[in-house]
Amino acid sequence: MSTLEAPTFTAQGRWRLGEVVPPDEWRYVRYGLMASYAAMYVWWLRERGLPIDRISVAISVGVFLLFAFVGRPLRTWGILAVDAAIYCVMWTAYERTRDYADNGVSVFGLFTIKFPLQWSTMRDIDRALFLGNDPNVVLQEHFWGPTVRWWDKAASTIYMTHFVLPIAAMAVLWVVSHRQWARFIKRFATLLLIGCIMFVVLPTAPPWMVASSRFGHEQLLPHVDRNAWRGFYALGFKGFTHDYSVALSKGNAVAAMPSLHASFALLVPLFFMQWITQRWVRWSLLLFPVAMLTSLVYLGEHWVIDGLVGWCITVGAFWFWDWQEQRVRDRRAAQVTG
């Protein structure tokens, strides 16, 4: 039967899907390419390490999307190009916060505004929350040691998912449903925008930095070990960072407030919970952001308040866009019924 032939009914009076929707002759080619990509990614992970710098991650996502969109119409490729440009602009803006946090914000070239580094504020808030105790210090005193234990491996692995999970979710939604990708990216971009603003106006030293006297400030914490990789290394993995000799391959050491690790760890479960019917499974997904924040504090990367503020921003982004989307649905429904 040709793709132009009129569709027929089945015995139950329903359309035959294959007669309504033209056959996708490239489907199995895409399946094969994506399976090859998965195998190649696993090999790269074992042999070269997990891509963590933004450019390497962008390249890996780009290759996946090229494979996933083989055989698609040119219009679809055009939409993908626009989406990819939006993606690149977001991350470029995020990476630029390093310069602004370190060197200040230039106002029309006339003068520069540089916001003070928060050195003790977050430590004081954490102490108030935990009755005078420093959570980073307490966790490391009880669990950190020269031998890598199972919880070190778990903490490092959870920490490393930050470089994969949100981008993987975005890439899958890109392929499966552009509408859902747009819904995800609105929440993601809102979170990233607020985070970027806070990184500039509220540069915050993380616990590992405050616990060191090498940065010209008073040492406010006892020694805090910083080695978020050691559990990951103990599992036989490593990180891959290509030296691109550009600012995009560097991080912002004083971007502790809010914690994007904690924010993204909540963003993905919150978004995908809508399709899970079992209530216990839905709520169990929220154990992941809790495990992420615990790992961040244990590894000396963030204060507890960093993660709590990140969670609040994430929930706020969902609330705002849920409200906006409901308004659009209500308006369209009123137009139809009116």
Q: What is the tens place of the pLDDT at every residue in 158-217?
A: 998 888 888 888 888 888 888 888 899 999 989 988 988 898 888 898 999 988 888 777
Kindly list the distances between the CA atom of residue 77 and the CA atoms of 21, 72, 84, in Å, as whole numbers in the listed order.
20, 7, 10
The model's pTM:
0.80
Residue 104 pLDDT exceeds 70: no
Alpha helices in the chain (DSSP H): 17-20, 27-47, 54-68, 74-103, 121-129, 135-143, 150-160, 165-176, 178-201, 207-210, 230-234, 260-272, 279-284, 287-298, 304-337
User: pLDDT higher for 253 or 203?
Assistant: 203
Phi, psi of 50 (to 5 degrees): -80, 125
Work out the average pLDDT over 227-254: 65
Has residue 241 been placed in a domain? yes
Has residue 228 been placed in a domain? yes
Q: What is the DSSP string of 230-267?
A: HHHHHTT--EE----SSGGG---TTB-SS-HHHHHHHH
Has residue 276 been placed in a domain? yes
241 touches 52 (CB < 8 A): yes
Has residue 17 been placed in a domain? no
Has residue 16 been placed in a domain? no
**What is the domain count for the chain?**
1
Has residue 55 been placed in a domain? yes
Has residue 130 been placed in a domain? yes
Rounded to whole angstroms, the Cα distance separating 192 from 95 reads 11
Range of the domain at 55: 23-337
* pLDDT of res. 318: 95
Residue 129 pLDDT exceeds 70: yes
Mind listing the pLDDT tens digit for each residue in 21-71?
Answer: 566 677 778 778 888 888 887 777 777 777 766 677 777 777 877 777 777
* pLDDT of res. 24: 65
* pLDDT of res. 251: 60
Residues facing 9 on adjacent strands: 15
Of 15-19, 104-108, 177-181, 301-305, the range with the highest mean pLDDT is 301-305
Query: Helix (H, G, I), strand (E, B), or coil: what is residue 5?
Result: coil
List the structure tokens of 296: 């961040």
Pairing outcome for strands 105-107 and 50-51: unpaired
Has residue 308 been placed in a domain? yes
Phi, psi of 99 (to 5 degrees): -65, -45
- Distant-in-sequence, close-in-space partners of 157: CB < 8 Å, separation ≥ 6: 231, 232, 235
Pairing outcome for strands 105-107 and 239-240: unpaired
